[in-house]
Amino acid sequence: MTKTFRTLDDVDVKGKRVLLRVDLNVPMENGRVTDLTRLERVAPTITEISDKGGKVILLAHFGRPRGRDPRESLKPVAAALAEVIKRPIGFAADCIGDVAKQAVAAMKDREILCLENTRFHQEEEKNDPAFVAELAKLGDIWVNDAFSAAHRAHASTEGLGHKLPAYAGRTMQAELDALGKALEAPTKPVIAIIGGAKVSTKIDLLENLVRKVDALVIGGGMANTFLHAQGVPIGKSLAEKDLAATALRIIEKADAANCAIILPVDAVVAFHFAAHSPSHAYGLDAIPPDGMILDVGPQSIERIRAAIDDAATLVWNGPLGAFEMPPFDRGTVVAARHAAERTRAGKLISVAGGGDTVAALNQAGVAGDFTYVSTAGGAFLEWMEGKPLPGVEVLKIT
Ligand code: AMP
């Protein structure tokens, strides 16, 4: 595929002050990082720039502070990152001003410095030009390695790209390559599996996908809305009945674009919304009026497996059932394991993303077998919606 954005292959970082935007927005409990995934993801870019003789200046946001708030300092995160990369990381208590300038001026080549939470300044989210200019003073080039923040046009995620020479870091590069292979220039046929609770949060995504994929599997709570729209009685299942017309419009658009819509043909129904509550599989003509659909049924699972077999590329977002409550994780787990098996056999390119999706694939024990799993939530969804991501657009070669 032709490369459309600049990467670390296009710049000599030796001796340069590299402002590196990373995602350090990790889960913390009692001052300790509870999941190192994001830190592990940014490690290769940091060590590569350092090994090549660059000065690595880390920029990141953390949480949603209103002004300066010690509870949302990046200091403990920088310490955890230092442990992950097994190198010392300095810390400056502000990302602009004298504190930051002096810390950067004291850096030697190869050293790594983390600047304090960019969101301690409200100008960050406003992409304020004066704030961007202050940040830009600290670096010679800007490298963006935070795909997960690329749907935001903030000072450190987008603004800097207009002030300094801009490059994608290795994690960003891997993400863009994987996503490009999944939807922009995919090996056909392409199948998308979309699940999750609601249609309302994924209308744009569904409308974009029906134009791009050959088959679209719809599962989870959102499938109930589609079934209801088609006149299937769904009992007490979660559904957005007021979106029936939207569901029908999506089906029409899919027809017009030659995209096969694969809806459940049977369902696992329980009478209590709780793990291990007694349940049975029912055909769509027999859903009990006081029951709740909590997973796709066995025949539906077979259809989904067959659809995966027919595909060369798979894009997945959202669980097929209430996967947090066993046994209603079965549809998601069986489909995920099947996709993983086809991927291992070299028959499928599989890309998945979005918060709950990563958790569901981890639960099925197969996240490592997919071709690519994006840990980005909002940015992954906006990419699936076909929207340009500001933090990516600014890296493009024009
Ligand atoms: P989302 O964040 O939109 O991807 O939705 C994920 C949530 O949808 C998970 O918490 C699932 O438990 C929930 N979900 C999936 N299928 C169902 C269903 N049939 N009934 C109720 N909740 C569901």
Q: 70-81 pLDDT, tens per residue?
A: 999 999 999 999
Residue 298 near residue 206, CB atoms below 8 Å:
no
Q: Are residues 281 and 206 part of one domain?
A: yes
Q: Are residues 218 and 121 part of one domain?
A: no
Domain around 23:
8-172
**pLDDT over 70 percentage in the chain:** 99
Give the relative orientation of helices 170-179 and 37-51 as an angle to the nearest 10 degrees: 120
pLDDT bracket for residue 3 (50, 70, 90): low
Single-letter amino acid, residue 313 = T
Is the residue at 181 inside a domain?
no
Higher pLDDT, 369 or 3: 369
Residue from 201, 284, 323, 381 whose mutation best tests the ligand 1 pocket (most atoms within 8 A of CB): 323
Which of 111, 142, 172 finishes a domain? 172
Is the residue at 398 inside a domain?
no
Q: How many independent structural domains does the chain possess?
A: 2
Higher pLDDT, 22 or 4: 22
For residue 196, indicate whether it is catalytic: no
Cα dihedral sign, 357-363-368-369:
negative
pLDDT (average), residues 149-160:
98
**Given a cut of 90, is residue 375 above it in pLDDT?**
no
Ligand 1 atom nearest 219 alpha carbon: 16
pLDDT at 37: 86
pLDDT (average), residues 298-320:
98
For residue 163, indicate whether it is catalytic: no
Q: Are residues 190 and 167 part of one domain?
A: no
Verify whether ligand 1 is closer than 6 Å to residue 356 (CB atom).
yes
For residue 198, indicate whether it is catalytic: yes
Q: Are residues 316 and 233 part of one domain?
A: yes
**Given a cut of 80, is residue 398 above it in pLDDT?**
no
Q: Are residues 153 and 279 part of one domain?
A: no
CA distances (Å), origin 127, targets 61, 119, 134, 138, 395 = 13, 11, 12, 17, 17
Is the residue at 15 inside a domain?
yes
Q: Are residues 192 and 50 part of one domain?
A: no
Verify whether ligand 1 is closer than 6 Å to residue 318 (CB atom).
yes
Q: Are residues 54 and 147 part of one domain?
A: yes
Helix (H, G, I), strand (E, B) or coil at 28: strand
**pLDDT over 90 percentage in the chain:** 93
Q: What is the pTM of this model?
A: 0.91
29: left (phi over 0), alpha (psi -120 to 50) or beta: beta
Say which CATH number the domain at 111 has: 3.40.50.1260
Distance 272 CA to ligand 1 centre (A): 15
Which of 147, 172, 197 finishes a domain? 172
d(CA 80, CA 61): 15
Q: What is the pLDDT of residues 34-43, one digit of tens each?
A: 989 889 999 9
**What count of other Cβ atoms lies within 10 Å of the Cβ of residue 252?**
11
**Given a cut of 70, is residue 391 above it in pLDDT?**
yes
Is the residue at 266 inside a domain?
yes
Q: Is 63 annotated as a binding residue?
A: yes
Residue 282 near residue 288, CB atoms below 8 Å:
yes
CA distances (Å), origin 223, targets 64, 108, 289 = 33, 57, 17
